[in-house]
Structure 1
Amino acid sequence: DLFSIRAYVHASKPQLDIHSFEGNFTREDSDPQLHESLSIDNTLWASTVVASGTVIGLVIYTGKETRSVLNTSSAKNKVGLLDLELNRLTKALFVAQVVLAVVMVALQGFVGTWFRNLFRFVVLLRVNLDMGKAAYAWMITRDENIPGTVVRTSTIPEELGRLVYLLTDKTGTLTKNEMVFKRLHLGTVSYGTDTMDEIQSNIIQSYAQPSNGVAGGGGGGGAGGTPSSRKPQTQSAPKVRKSAVSRIHEAVKAIALCHNVTPAYESHAGAGEKETESAEADQDYDDDNRTYHASSPDEVALVQWTESVGLTLVSRDLASLQLRTPSGQTLTFHILQIFPFTSESKRMGIIVREETTGDITFYMKGADVSMATIVQYNDWLDEEGLRTLVVAKKSLSEEQYQDFESRYNQAKLSIHDRSLKVAAVVESLERELELLCLTGVEDQLQADVRPTLELLRNAGIKIWMLTGDKLETATCIAKSSHLVSRNQDIHVFKPVSSRGEAHLELNAFRRKHDCVLVISGDSLEVCLSFYEHEFVELACQCPAVVCCRCSPTQKAQIGMEAADCGIGIEGKAVFSSIFYFASVPLYQGFLMVGYTTIYTMFPVFSMVLDQDVKPETALLYPELYKDLTKGRSLSFKTFLIWVLISLYQGGILMYGALMMFESEFLHVVAISFTALILTELLMVALTIRTWHWLMVLAQVLSLVFYFCSLFFLDEYFDLPFMTTWVFLWKVTTITLVSCLPLYIIKYLKRKFSPPSYSKLSS
């Protein structure tokens, strides 16, 4: 009865890490008292789902102490570079309009209700810009070249046209995250994909020999025995040169045992229903229905390879696993201890006891940097771009294992510094290991990743690749994916651990020019701690940066927190987004609201369809992208030019109508307002680079709306006067004087100083 027991749980304080938990369970009403260590294996975090069965649990962390709440951080508001630039320009424009309004009221005199006249001057809003962003977001989702694209926000789509740095992970982004076993290295001989049949024949030969239980280190089940009749530990026996068959057998057996892979089988018990059952339910180890499940695709690739050469994992549970030999015999191994892989240790281990012989063996595999005590530094497989693992083993006597188990359980009961104490005990077990083999697994590149990276590099985009692989593997992937161009120098940032070392290495790096930087995660952290500004300044000048041995935390901090625009990839994606802007002349009049919303909104908004070059040309000449990243399309210089144009055209429209003053004020309104509408439409036409039929339709509709409104606004317009030749020549003259000089300037500029895109279209 749960309510009658006397027990308590001693747990560690709340923390951010969701991959670890330390605690103890003590029951006082049992004889003797029960003391059990609690770890992540006994933990269910909030918001998790129990896939099957039932769980009896004790709630420890609630409210703000739960891991989900502790790991929740306030989201950073991502503001586009365009919005920041426009905010500054809008402030300047607002101040200019206020000053202009005050000057106009002052010229009239501060008499009567002058403050009302001050607020009659309209402040222009960025309505067309926000509508244009929404239109671009819709166009991206409807692009046939990138089907299935989802735009999460419509506030920063223009950032795709202003990219300067591209931060990308390697696994699953540049590569498919589909692992293929490529090489087995035994120290003196290496086996590749073309010689795997030799390994298979050796495995068949190994299990065909009756005495393979001794030659193969207890690999077969033919030799009976008990734990007491077990042979002595191998490290105390004199070393004897093993045959090639024995070495291959031990290596393949170690790979088949040291992992966290679980096989699952699909049965058709129901009417057309598929359900995954344990293989032990009916001992039906059908190869066609077997699938492997693991936390890492590397593990699955290794187990699939052992199956291909004859040693198959057919069953696994928490206490044991079973292997099937080429002859059909099933070998059972009891799992005594398992040490999972972590990003800190970069290795995993398992202790198993073979059922038939009782032999206890400790297998371990990991990166060569974490196995430095048993293998020297090498780059045989890394230069081929393969993910390297070192596999080793150690035979244990019953006394050795009992001593280790006692110390290991005692360390797990510790509340303070449990991980350090457990690591120290496990480290004592990892001494005097026997090296078995090195494995090389290839993570294949994504389709078209080479031309895509080359295109982005030619577009002037600087690419940062973040990966947890070792330096040689990351460098090889950078070369094979064309992240590094041909004949481009690579500067390898030496490992640094102190401020002085970082200072010396930064000085050496400062003398390099136009080279790709390769730096490890540890060195990156040291540089950012002491010389953040200097390092970032130097690294940002590199055409590409490769950060190897990055921890998941570093990837998140660099790739997600610092990015201005995030792109989640599902399938194949292409970047393309170009924005253009048109300014409207400043005009003071009664019909300003109708002028900006009805008569000229459609032509200005239709400019979202404008293109300087065709999409095919933009992909063929990615160098054109560099002009966008410079931000020359929207700068204070561009802003001042359009302000001067607005003042010039506004002055021509106003003083032109006054100089041609008629006897009726309605004639002045008709002349000036009609000239304003025509000037705006002509200015839109002046800015357009590539005409679209919707643009022509917008121009025509604007004129139709204007002329139709004349019949409803007869109190503001004199229709008989607007049908005379006097009205026509005055409007034509004012419009030509306001627009013709700008057309001439544009023609001369295009003739003598053409932009990059016009050189391709000419």
Structure 2
Amino acid sequence: MSNIRILRQKKSKKSKKKIRIVRLWQLCLNSVVETAFHRNLPYMKKTSFYFDFRVSDISICYSSLTFQKVHEKVCIISQPTSFKLTEEPGSFWMRTCKNEDSMFYCSYICFQGNAIKTYKYNVLTFLPLNLYEQFKRAANLYFLCLLILQIIPQISTLPWYTTLVPLVLVLGITAIKDLVDDLARHRMDKEINNRRCDVLLNGRFEETRWMNLQVGDVVRIKKNDFIPADILLLSSSNPNSLCYVETAELDGETNLKFKMGLKVTDERLQEEDQLAWYLYDGLGYSSSTRGFLSFWGYIIILNTMVPISLYVSVEVIRLGQSKFINWDLQMYYADKDTPAKARTTTLNEQLGQIEYIFSDKTGTLTQNIMAFKKCTITGLTYGETNHHHFIHFTFSLIFTQPVDFSWNKYADKKFQFEDHFLVSCIRSKKDPQIHEFFKLLSLCHTVMVEHKGDELVYQAASPDEGALVTAACNFGYVFLSRTQDTITILEMDHEETYEMLALLDFNSDRKRMSIILRFPDGKIRLYCKGADTVIYQRLDANSKNIETTQEALDIFANETLRTLCLCYKDISQAEFDAWSQKHQAASVSMGNREEALDTVYEEIEENLLLIGATAIEDKLQDGVPETIAKLAKANIKIWVLTGDKKETAENIGYSCQLLTDNMKIHYGEDVNVQLRNRQTQRRNDPQGRNKKLKEQFFTESGNNALVITGGWLNEILYEKKKKRRRLRLKKLRKRFTNSTNPPDSNQPVDDWEKEKRQEDFVDMACECSAVICCRVTPKQKANVVSLVKRYKKAVTLSIGDGANDVNMIKTADIGVGISGQEGMQAVMSSDYAFAQFRYLQRLLLVHGRWSYIRMCKFLRYFFYKNFAFTLVHFWFSFFNGFSSQTAYEDWFITLYNVCYSSLPVLLVGLLDQDVNDKLSLRFPKLYLPGQQGSLFNYKNFFISLFHGIFTSLMIFFIPYGAFLQTMGQDGEAPSDYQSFAVVAASSLIITVNLQISLNTSYWTFVNFFAVIGSIAIYFGVMFDIHSAGIHVILPTTFTFTGAASNALRQPYLWLTIILTVGICLLPVICIQFLYQTIWPSVGDKVRSLKNERKKKKPAFQRGGRSRRSAYAFSHSSGYADLIASGRSIRQRPRVRANGKWERRVF
């Protein structure tokens, strides 16, 4: 360790003391603890706990905050006699005196306060910062530039307010939304900052606000309290100063973490409970000039093709769709009071385009509620009701009932086990291997226990560990307590305490955990439990019952049970001492600590002796088979990525109907030949090396399924390590493409071949209806998702419930988190969250499909109405000499996308339904248009463009022809510009609002009011701004005085408006009729079927009285029995029973 030199201040020439060298950690401890004790000196004097040293030029880091450097002169003293403390707000400094002419000096130390601040703005900064944030968006900056251009009179022919009003409106709405959000953050900050905690002041604990905590405060925290700041634990009421901390609000993990106070502080602070020390936003122009000005003038006029209101409307629609998901009571899980939650508003329409779903198994498809069902010990299997040992009992009938654990006062009443023979073996104490088996379960874990009277409450990091410890407890091996270096258990009738020498923790790569214990007689033993794939590689050659245990494991896996192997190893004292030194060195390694620890763990975890294996049941969630079946009918392919054994995963696939009897199952080892053949074919065809081969892998038509393992995936999921290698590879590709000969085998083309093999793997897997990847790590899960995204360009969705699913959830286009038994980390990383897998079908087939259809319909209509509106200026330019003169009145241009045509299309984007939710779930084929992207693509865009061009032609030329060489009833020609603008605008408003009516599939009162109201608002506002009264007030702004009343009192102009609207809408009506009659879509067919059923009367009506049946079928119970049995629902050959032939279904 680094050393620091402590210099003393010279009091006189005669008094010379030696310079001391002190370790860094001692100095840090002295400094921080002395600070705390000095701040509470009147109370702390009785402890007689003082330090002689202080820190000099040290930066102490804890968590994410840093103590600033302290520069001071230090005197070495042995008995400080007087202390003086002076405090200032926000900082403190101290002076420590031995006598008048010798003292400590500490420079001014400024520490950050404990108040939190998550808000962005205050009263002074809101306006400038918010405007800055909004103008960072390209759309707002674009319209600001247009506004600047409009201010220049030589360029613009439109008044500046035609762009200013909608821009200000958009900025204002966004600013209000940001203000509301920031006020909520202000309130939350205030609430947290004003929480109370106990602080030691003047010898007693007093309540203070969190924001008033200072560096050096001693804080008392009670059980289940929130921790107010970054603190250092000094003491705890638990033995050995042990404390458990939950960090769910930080990282989503609900498992408890160990924290221990230093022995030196714990010994002196046992008088007070749980002490902690607080550590720590009219000129002539040339033709070229006129052309230049005209160009920019038309840029301003035609900017309404994509108006700023489009962005606001899209955000409002997305927000509304997210709220509908949050408010859906059919996705509310009452058992845990958990509603569905849309954590983002930008992906709703993509929910209607999902092609691939990647799902975890445990906790996602299953309940993640583990139950100990079976075990195998020394080759014998226990847990079956028809156990062969029962033949030794006279009354075997009683053994079909669950075991009575009333003899064990700590037994869990919910625990069910049916093998009486195992209990009799345990209580007889005749088999030492059974004794070791359950002792291992009670000792090798990270479970924590809480005593509630005579009841023990176990808190486990995973449901598997909780189930195993609970099972051991019921069988008489009760885990009672633990400290930082001991574990105490009750072995049947006597209590034993074991010294814990080392804990080799579990991770997803090791797939096992171990513990090294010293027995009361001095013997040292290692207990280990983990997956069979890693345990069997580390077994000693003399280990017994290896084959029989493997057979039992295969049987357990076929019954969809989760398995773990148990083993042990005796260690000599010399061997442990040598290994402990390596372990200590790896523990303090500053670089690659995890890798170093894994290497050390590998050294000790070898030559193990097998004891047996456990089998835990994890039942399917309700509705999983039905959900998977419906999603499959919607052409959504589901991949299950799990860490379980292949047999377990495959049988779960049959249970949840992911795999069916008519599917042909392919395994990774079987398809290797096909992948090699594809590579050979590509290698032998140099000219077509970069071409994608269109041949299918599976020649047999029908359903195929692929089951692969993590080890097989390692050959496929190949990652390039350096960019230079990629560049070199690119050059090699070009050279080999131009060459007629294949590359030499010694040349470095492995990366290219691996990439092509990945592509072949994806093509092959995507030909299958279902894919199961077992024994995969979290990294492999994410890599599989990444491969499908890269090569298929499809919209993907990942769903999981635990921390090991976070990478997969983040990699997919859409991540869904299940709030289950493994904390909230998956939910916190997801875009959507709910409590049960079955809600996924409603999220996709109802909300996702509706959102996609609504957004597509909104965009098609929005572009249409703006093309129809804007292109009238284009046709008008042929008659005004391309002078950039507008065809409408200025205020009409300003309000068109804000008031006159926005509300009906906005409601269509929020409320429209082609069919209701029941029909959406009943006919999953309705989901196909979203996957194909057929509702909004280039074709639909150009259809909207041509439709808008046609409408704009009618809007301009029909009124133009009506005004040409005509005369009104008063004998005067009405063919003035203002009257033409009124007629064209009126025709446009009526046309676009009736057009959205033709496109609306789901009518409500709100839709009807929006269409009629928009037309009424237009005429009301038009007559107001064309009135003489407002012209008198602002004569230069409102120039169309009396235009509306003069034009619309002419009957033939009303006839012109009606003719224009009719010609615009009649082709649309005819085309819709032809499509629904001759080329109906899936939605049209479903609506027709629904209408026919409404009209069709029932041929027979049941009478008033009917016979009632008392029979009831429990859906969830049925599937629970199916999973417990471990067999899929298949027909078996007929068997003879009771003299009759019958067919049994398992």
TM-score (norm 2): 0.49
Q: Which of 561, 565, 572 pairs up with 2:814?
A: 565
Taking a change above 3 Å as real, the CA distance of residues 691 and 485 of structure 1, as seen in their structure-2 partners, is: farther
Q: Does 2:373 align with 1:174? A: no
Tell me, in whole angstroms, the C-alpha distance in 2 between the residues paired with 1:112 and 1:304: 83
Q: Does 2:709 align with 1:520? A: yes
Taking a change above 3 Å as real, the CA distance of residues 401 and 505 of structure 1, as seen in their structure-2 partners, is: farther
Deviation at 1:344, TM superposition (A): 2.6
Taking a change above 3 Å as real, the CA distance of residues 711 and 409 of structure 1, as seen in their structure-2 partners, is: same
For 2:530, the equivalent position in structure 1 comes to: 366
Q: Which of 251, 262, 267 pairs up with 2:437?
A: 251
Tell me, in whole angstroms, the C-alpha distance in 2 between the residues paired with 1:163 and 1:341: 35
Taking a change above 3 Å as real, the CA distance of residues 384 and 717 of structure 1, as seen in their structure-2 partners, is: farther
Q: Which of 891, 896, 917 pairs up with 1:595?
A: 896
Q: Does 2:1020 align with 1:708? A: yes
CA contact (8 A) 2:628 2:657 kept: yes
CA contact (8 A) 1:404 1:425 kept: no
Q: Does 2:422 align with 1:199? A: yes
> Aligned ranges for residues 409-558 of structure 1 at < 5 Å?
409-410=581-582, 412-413=584-585, 430-494=605-669, 503=676, 510-511=697-698, 514-529=703-718, 530=754, 531-556=757-782, 558=785
Taking a change above 3 Å as real, the CA distance of residues 670 and 347 of structure 1, as seen in their structure-2 partners, is: closer
Tell me, in whole angstroms, the C-alpha distance in 1 between the residues paired with 2:1051 and 2:768: 66
CA contact (8 A) 1:613 1:757 kept: yes
Q: Does 2:301 align with 1:120? A: yes
Deviation at 1:141, TM superposition (A): 2.5
Taking a change above 3 Å as real, the CA distance of residues 758 and 353 of structure 1, as seen in their structure-2 partners, is: same
Deviation at 1:687, TM superposition (A): 0.9
For 1:71, the equivalent position in structure 2 comes to: none
CA contact (8 A) 1:165 1:464 kept: yes
Q: What is the SS of the residue equivalent to 2:899?
A: helix
For 2:516, the equivalent position in structure 1 comes to: 351
For 2:498, the equivalent position in structure 1 comes to: 333
Residue identity opposite 2:903 in structure 1: F
User: Deviation string for 1:6-42 (max 9, x for gaps)?
Assistant: 5479xxxxxxxxxxxxxxxxxxxxxxxxxxxxxxxxx
Q: Which of 447, 452, 459 pairs up with 1:261?
A: 447
For 1:636, the equivalent position in structure 2 comes to: 938
Taking a change above 3 Å as real, the CA distance of residues 720 and 311 of structure 1, as seen in their structure-2 partners, is: same
Tell me, in whole angstroms, the C-alpha distance in 1 between the residues paired with 2:614 and 2:581: 32
C-alpha RMSD of the superposition: 3.6
Residue identity opposite 1:403 in structure 2: E
Deviation at 1:523, TM superposition (A): 2.7
Q: What is the SS of the residue equivalent to 1:440?
A: strand
Deviation at 1:651, TM superposition (A): 1.0
Gaps of 5+ in 1: 10-43, 49-86, 91-108, 207-214, 216-244, 267-285
Taking a change above 3 Å as real, the CA distance of residues 426 and 613 of structure 1, as seen in their structure-2 partners, is: closer
Deviation at 1:45, TM superposition (A): 7.8
Tell me, in whole angstroms, the C-alpha distance in 2 between the residues paired with 1:509 and 1:200: 57
Tell me, in whole angstroms, the C-alpha distance in 1 between the residues paired with 2:561 and 2:677: 32
For 1:668, the equivalent position in structure 2 comes to: 980
Higher RCO (CA 8 Å, separation ≥ 6 residues)? 1
Q: Does 2:381 align with 1:189? A: yes
Tell me, in whole angstroms, the C-alpha distance in 2 between the residues paired with 1:686 and 1:501: 53
Tell me, in whole angstroms, the C-alpha distance in 2 between the residues paired with 1:601 and 1:424: 66
CA contact (8 A) 1:412 1:422 kept: no
Tell me, in whole angstroms, the C-alpha distance in 2 between the residues paired with 1:757 and 1:331: 71
Deviation at 1:362, TM superposition (A): 2.9
Tell me, in whole angstroms, the C-alpha distance in 1 between the residues paired with 2:1007 and 2:599: 73
Taking a change above 3 Å as real, the CA distance of residues 319 and 505 of structure 1, as seen in their structure-2 partners, is: farther
Q: What is the SS of the residue equivalent to 2:480?
A: strand
CA contact (8 A) 2:472 2:478 kept: yes
Deviation at 1:412, TM superposition (A): 4.2
User: Deviation string for 1:280-338 (max 9, x for gaps)?
Assistant: xxxxxx442x22233222111101001112221112223222222443x2123232333
Taking a change above 3 Å as real, the CA distance of residues 701 and 419 of structure 1, as seen in their structure-2 partners, is: closer
Taking a change above 3 Å as real, the CA distance of residues 421 and 122 of structure 1, as seen in their structure-2 partners, is: closer
Residue identity opposite 1:563 in structure 2: A
Tell me, in whole angstroms, the C-alpha distance in 1 between the residues paired with 2:675 and 2:23: 53
Q: Does 2:973 align with 1:750? A: no
Deviation at 1:121, TM superposition (A): 2.7
Tell me, in whole angstroms, the C-alpha distance in 1 between the residues paired with 2:603 and 2:986: 91
Deviation at 1:429, TM superposition (A): 5.0
Q: What is the SS of the residue equivalent to 2:450?
A: strand
For 1:760, the equivalent position in structure 2 comes to: 1086
Q: Which of 135, 140, 160 pairs up with 2:320?
A: 135
Aligned residue-pair number: 611
CA contact (8 A) 1:610 1:692 kept: no
CA contact (8 A) 2:717 2:780 kept: no
CA contact (8 A) 2:979 2:1046 kept: no
Tell me, in whole angstroms, the C-alpha distance in 2 between the residues paired with 1:417 and 1:657: 79
CA contact (8 A) 1:202 1:249 kept: no
CA contact (8 A) 1:669 1:717 kept: no
Deviation at 1:743, TM superposition (A): 0.2
Q: What is the SS of the residue equivalent to 1:494?
A: helix
Deviation at 1:632, TM superposition (A): 0.6
Tell me, in whole angstroms, the C-alpha distance in 2 between the residues paired with 1:371 and 1:250: 17
Deviation at 1:440, TM superposition (A): 0.7
Tell me, in whole angstroms, the C-alpha distance in 1 between the residues paired with 2:711 and 2:782: 15
TM-score (norm 1): 0.73
Tell me, in whole angstroms, the C-alpha distance in 1 between the residues paired with 2:618 and 2:292: 80
Deviation at 1:615, TM superposition (A): 0.8
Deviation at 1:623, TM superposition (A): 1.9
Taking a change above 3 Å as real, the CA distance of residues 722 and 259 of structure 1, as seen in their structure-2 partners, is: same
Gaps of 5+ in 2: 7-19, 26-60, 66-138, 143-288, 333-338, 385-415, 540-545, 681-694, 719-753, 786-807, 818-832, 874-886, 967-972, 1027-1040, 1089-1146
Deviation at 1:439, TM superposition (A): 0.4
Q: Does 2:1065 align with 1:739? A: yes
Q: What is the SS of the residue equivalent to 2:813?
A: coil
Tell me, in whole angstroms, the C-alpha distance in 1 between the residues paired with 2:760 and 2:327: 43
CA contact (8 A) 1:408 1:425 kept: no
Residue identity opposite 1:145 in structure 2: Q
Taking a change above 3 Å as real, the CA distance of residues 461 and 500 of structure 1, as seen in their structure-2 partners, is: closer
Tell me, in whole angstroms, the C-alpha distance in 2 between the residues paired with 1:697 and 1:641: 28
Residue identity opposite 2:1065 in structure 1: C
Tell me, in whole angstroms, the C-alpha distance in 2 between the residues paired with 1:342 and 1:135: 42
Q: Does 2:575 align with 1:389? A: no
Residue identity opposite 2:515 in structure 1: I
Tell me, in whole angstroms, the C-alpha distance in 1 between the residues paired with 2:1011 and 2:466: 62
Deviation at 1:699, TM superposition (A): 0.8
Residue identity opposite 2:1016 in structure 1: V
Tell me, in whole angstroms, the C-alpha distance in 2 between the residues paired with 1:191 and 1:111: 91
What is the identity percentage for the equivalent residue pairs of Structure 1 and Structure 2? 28
Tell me, in whole angstroms, the C-alpha distance in 2 between the residues paired with 1:295 and 1:442: 18
CA contact (8 A) 1:506 1:535 kept: no
> Aligned ranges for residues 575-654 of structure 1 at < 5 Å?
575=843, 576-577=847-848, 578=850, 579=854, 580-581=857-858, 582=861, 583-584=864-865, 585-586=868-869, 587-588=872-873, 589-590=887-888, 591-608=892-909, 609-654=911-956
Deviation at 1:417, TM superposition (A): 8.5
Taking a change above 3 Å as real, the CA distance of residues 546 and 262 of structure 1, as seen in their structure-2 partners, is: same
Q: Which of 153, 158, 163 pairs up with 2:344?
A: 153
